[in-house]
Amino acid sequence: MSRTQCYEWVKRFKVGRMSVGEDPRRGRPSTSTNDDHVEGVRAVICGNCRLTLREVADEVGISIGFCQQIFTEKLKVRRVSAKFVSCLLPDDQKENRVEISQELLANTNGNENFLKNIVTGD
């Protein structure tokens, strides 16, 4: 924290401020991240996971920024290989990924020509 910012906080506490939390902001609260929009985004993704963020936002009728916020904060999804993939996989999918990874590792360790076979298609 800069020296100027520290002086600003000292000044605020001297005039009676009691906490370091944020003050309420002016204006009306956001309505774009309500449950209806979250469910709309979820339904669009489940229907076609290869859509872009812009396409999902247009489909639901919200801004791209709010769509991004719904993806990251509400649905906990991220974009991987042109698909939206859940960051929190179910346990059975996690186990399946571990098993497949272990099989691939065993194949590479047990077969000296593994990469050569992949390239040539053998």
Kindly indicate the confidence band of residue 19, based on its pLDDT and cuts at 50, 70 and 90: confident
Q: What is the DSSP code (8-state) at residue 33?
A: T
- Amino acid 87: pLDDT: 55
Q: Structural domain boundaries of the chain?
A: 32-87, 89-122
Gap between the Cα atoms of 113 and 122, Å rounded:
10
pLDDT tens per residue across span 72-96: 888 887 765 445 555 556 778 778 8
Strand partners, 122: none
pLDDT surpassing 80 at residue 115: no
Q: What is the DSSP code (8-state) at residue 28?
A: P
Q: 53-60 and 35-47 helices cross at what angle (nearest 10)?
A: 130
Contact 57, 64 (CB under 8 A): yes
Cβ-based burial of 102 (10 A; exposed 0-12, middle 13-18, buried ≥19): exposed
Kindly indicate the confidence band of residue 16, based on its pLDDT and cuts at 50, 70 and 90: confident
Fold of 32-87: Arc Repressor Mutant, subunit A (1.10.10)
Kindly indicate the confidence band of residue 4, based on its pLDDT and cuts at 50, 70 and 90: very high
